[in-house]
């Protein structure tokens, strides 16, 4: 009977040693898989970081180009607005000058016509006074009385 337990002990020892080898091999495989996974993740993270850096650099370049384009547009728009305002101002000044010139010419024509009418009226009054001196004196006296009455009413 003492043999039997030894057999069992030998069998369990040999099974234990094989099991231990199997566990060690399994641990090595899991360890290797974990190392490969870590390495793969590190490589992926590095690649993603590099790609992100490149994308951010490209985005900065694009933003700088957009900023330059907007600045150029604003400058050109301001320049065009100033030119337009200047042209409008010149056109308005020209129109005002033309209208003022026309008004001046028209006023001059009216003044000339009024002067001519006053001269004609004075000439007719002189002619009438020469034809009828007594009627002229009576009319003058009547006009003087009317003016005197009007000035008394005001004072």
- Give pLDDT tens digits for 114-133: 889 888 988 888 888 888 88
Does this model's pTM top 0.75? My answer is: no
3 state DSSP class of 125: helix
Whether residue 154 is contained in a domain is answered as: no
Whether residue 152 is contained in a domain is answered as: no
Whether residue 126 is contained in a domain is answered as: yes
Whether residue 153 is contained in a domain is answered as: no
Range of the domain at 84: 7-147
Whether residue 67 is contained in a domain is answered as: yes
Whether residue 128 is contained in a domain is answered as: yes
- pLDDT tens digits, residue range 20-71? 887 888 888 888 888 888 788 788 778 877 887 888 888 888 888 888 888 8
Q: Record the tokens describing residue 120, joined without a space.
A: 């004609």
- Burial code (b: 16+ CB inside 10 Å, e: under 16) for 27-59 equals eeeeeeeeeeeeeeeeeeeeeeeeeeeeeeeee
- pLDDT tens digits, residue range 60-111? 888 888 888 888 887 887 788 778 878 887 888 888 888 888 888 888 898 8
Whether residue 77 is contained in a domain is answered as: yes
Whether residue 12 is contained in a domain is answered as: yes
Domain count, the chain: 1
């Amino acid at each position: 009977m003492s043999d039997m337990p030894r057999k069992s002990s030998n069998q369990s020892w040999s099974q234990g040693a094989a099991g231990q080898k199997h566990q060690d091999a399994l641990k090595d495989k899991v360890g290797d898989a974990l190392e490969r996974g870590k390495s793969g993740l590190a490589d992926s993270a590095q690649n993603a970081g590099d790609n992100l850096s490149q994308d951010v650099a490209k985005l900065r370049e694009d933003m700088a180009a957009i900023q330059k384009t907007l600045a150029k547009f604003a400058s050109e728009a301001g320049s065009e607005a100033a030119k337009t305002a200047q042209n409008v101002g010149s056109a308005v000044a020209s129109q005002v000058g033309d209208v003022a010139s026309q008004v001046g010419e028209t006023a001059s024509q009216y003044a000339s016509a009024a002067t001519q009418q006053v001269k004609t009226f004075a000439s007719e009054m002189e002619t009438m006074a020469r034809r009828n001196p007594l009627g002229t004196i009576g009319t003058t006296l009547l006009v003087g009385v009317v003016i005197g009455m009007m000035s008394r009413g005001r004072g």
